[in-house]
Amino acid sequence: MEIHYWNKEIETADRKTIQAVQLQRLKAMVASALHTPFYKRKLPTVGINSPDDIKSLDDLKKIPLASKEDLRQNYPKGFLAVDTSEVVRIHTSSGTTGIPTVIYLSAADLDAATDIMARSIVATGATRGDVLQNMMSYGLFTGGLCMHYGAERVGLMVIPAAGGNTKRQIQLMKDFGTTVLHITPSYLLHIHSTLGEFGTSVKDLSLKKAFIGAEPHSENTRKKIEELYGIDAYNSYGLSEMNGPGVAFECVYKNDLHLWEDAYILEVIDPKTGDPVPDGQEGEVVLTNLIRHAMPLMRYRTRDRAFVHTDPCPCGRTHRRISRILGRTDDMLIINGVNIFPSQIEEVIMKIPEVGTNYQIYVEKQGSLDKLIVKVELYSKMFLGEAKQIDKLKAKISDELRASITIKPVIELHEPGVLPVFEGKAVRVVDKREKL
Ligand code: ADP
Ligand code: ZN
């Protein structure tokens, strides 16, 4: 396989070199952090009063963990290290779990973030001559502009399509020969189910790749996308707090995501105790941003669950790979006392061939018990079959789910187009139970 690098030297650097870069950048970040109201309060309490108090990477552990709550409580300027005249851009998170948080970028920060984005794009083999249709929303959300800047830097032709208006999206793909999409996996699946309606088929398109991210999805969802479109789908991970997309990206081997360790220090902790977990074991991803000085953020608890791979990647990159995001630490559902992650449900239903491109998980109270309903869209041809066949399929889905999550959900089967469609991040779980 042909391997392209954006910056071969750092992408293939040995561990010692990467750690040396991390240490030097961490010291610089602590220097910047000491200009923010938040860290001015926090760092002296752990004995850090100057960058010289960081002597080795082990000293990172002294720095207190930071949470989304810290960002919210210190909104809007508690993490700002520079005068706003130095800031060239702000972004916010999409607010999936509450009030959005804000980030600030100086010109140098934006340049560094763009470079990491470019590196991610090149890792997938996308290059000058490719046409990228960026279907993430433009604006405060990082998914639009940050990908846009990175792709321009590599030299791709960028179509800033933003999200929504499926008919126009398909027209753009046809008119400009789009080869690469940047899109949420749920919206990409949805688009496939509408192609016929707009008189198009996959054969009319020139698609080769998709960067899919911004929301959790299973390996079976990726496979489904790849089969439906005949393309390669690369997992793209990022979060606004770490500058948006491009924190970790899959290379051509598509064997989970290289996390760019010269730009972000990766830790995985047990979310309950805060202790580090060994490589290979699932935990909460904690990230230290090493490239954003206008708004330092160190040891940020992402609430995303993943594990670290230890085996090397054949592409030659030495930056460690994290698994796909297995969910958020706060998206666990407790159904009649059983802990269930929505990702477990998705993994099962997406490998059932009759299942179409959309689903939703619904939880409600029935008397004192919780009732779990999994609503699934089928491909339309399924509804031409007999009622008996439909019942058999319901039982099959329900049995397969029980084998994975131990409880038996109620299965509702729907025709395509019935369940709500999301052009940005999908809302997969609707929990109608009263919160205590
Ligand atoms: P919000 O936290 O409001 O959703 P962001 O827009 O910053 O704000 O989204 C970042 C979050 O999106 C990540 O923390 C993660 O939960 C999710 N996410 C981003 N990319 C992926 C991906 N490839 N796989 C799974 N989840 C992802
Ligand atoms: Zn690789």
Task: Give the ligand at the shortest distance from the Cα of 136.
Answer: 1
* Residue 261 Cα to ligand 2 middle (Å): 13
- Domain identity same for 45 and 157: yes
Q: Do the domain assignments include residue 2?
A: no
User: What pLDDT is recorded for position 384?
Assistant: 67
The residue whose CA is least distant from atom 10 of ligand 1 is 239
Which atom in ligand 1 lies closest to the alpha carbon of residue 328?
Answer: 16
The residue ranges of DSSP E strands in 221-354, in sequence order, are: 232-239, 244-250, 257-259, 264-269, 283-289, 300-306, 321-322, 327-328, 333-335, 338-340
Mutate which of 304, 326, 330, 425 for ligand 1? The one with the most ligand atoms within 8 Å of its CB, which is 304
For ligand 1, whether the C-beta of 240 sits within 6 Å is: yes
> C-alpha dihedral over 415, 425, 247, 124, to 10 degrees?
40
Pocket test for ligand 1, best of 93, 225, 325 (most atoms within 8 A of CB): 325
**Which ligand sits nearest to residue 250's alpha carbon?**
2
Ligand at minimal distance from the CA of 124 is: 2
322 with 340, same domain: the answer is no
Measure the CA–CA gap between 296 and 33, rounded to whole angstroms. 5
One domain for residues 187 and 51: yes
User: What's the CA-to-centroid distance between 24 and ligand 1, angstroms?
Assistant: 28
* Distance, CA of 168 to CA of 166 (rounded, Å): 5
Question: To 10 degrees, what angle do helices 387-405 and 342-349 make?
Answer: 140
As for how many domains the chain has, the answer is 2
Range of the domain at 291: 8-330
SS3 (DSSP) at 330: coil
Distance CA 368, CA 300 (A): 38
Which atom of ligand 1 is found nearest the CA of 68? 2
Assess whether the C-beta atom of 235 lies below 6 angstroms from ligand 1.
Answer: yes
256 and 200 within one domain: yes
Which of 309, 330, 351 is the C-terminal boundary of a domain? 330
Instruction: Single out the residue in 304, 330, 356 at which a domain terminates.
Output: 330
Please indicate, yes or no, whether residues 74 and 152 belong to a single structural domain of this protein.
yes
Per the domain annotation, does 292 fall within a domain?
yes
Ligand in closest contact with the CA of 302: 1
List, in order, residues 6 or more apart from 173 with CB less than 8 Å away.
133, 205, 206, 207
Residues 105, 77 share a domain: yes
201 part of a folded domain? yes
Nearest atom in ligand 1 to 100's CA: 3
Task: Name every residue whose Cβ is closer than 8 Å to that of residue 285 and which is 6 or more positions away in sequence.
Answer: 266, 267, 268, 302, 304, 305, 306, 322, 325
| Structure token pair of residue 271 | 């979310």
4: CA distance to ligand 2 center in Å?
A: 11
Of all protein residues, whose CA lies closest to atom 3 belonging to ligand 1?
Answer: 95
Give the ligand with the smallest distance to the CA of 241: 1
Please give the Cα distance from 219 to 349 (Å, whole number).
12
**What's the CATH number where 274 sits?**
3.40.50.12780
Asked whether residue 302 falls in the same domain as residue 345, the answer is no
CATH code, 407 = 3.30.300.30
Answer yes or no: do 388 and 269 share one domain.
no
Query: Does residue 1 lie in a domain region?
Result: no
Say whether both 126 and 232 belong to one domain: yes
Place of tokens 């520079």: 82
* 215 Cβ below 6 A of ligand 1: yes
pLDDT at residue number 225: 97
User: Could you tell me which residues come within 8 angstroms of residue 343 by beta carbon, excluding any fewer than 6 positions away?
Assistant: 216, 218, 326, 327
Domain membership flag for residue 436: no
Residues 314 and 343 in one domain: no
Q: Of the candidates 277, 298, 330, which is a domain's last residue?
A: 330
- The reply to whether 25 and 127 lie within a common domain is yes
Judge whether 215 and 185 are in contact, CB under 8 Å.
yes
Q: Are residues 342 and 310 in the same domain?
A: no
213 lines ligand 1 (CB under 6 A): yes
Tell me which residue has its CA closest to atom 16 in ligand 1.
304
Give pLDDT, residue 200: 97
Mean pLDDT by groups of 10 residues along the chain of 436 residues: 96 98 98 98 98 98 96 95 98 77 97 98 98 95 96 98 95 98 95 94 98 95 97 97 97 98 98 96 98 98 96 98 92 88 92 93 90 92 77 94 92 92 90 76
Among protein residues, the one with the nearest Cα to ligand 1's atom 14 is 239
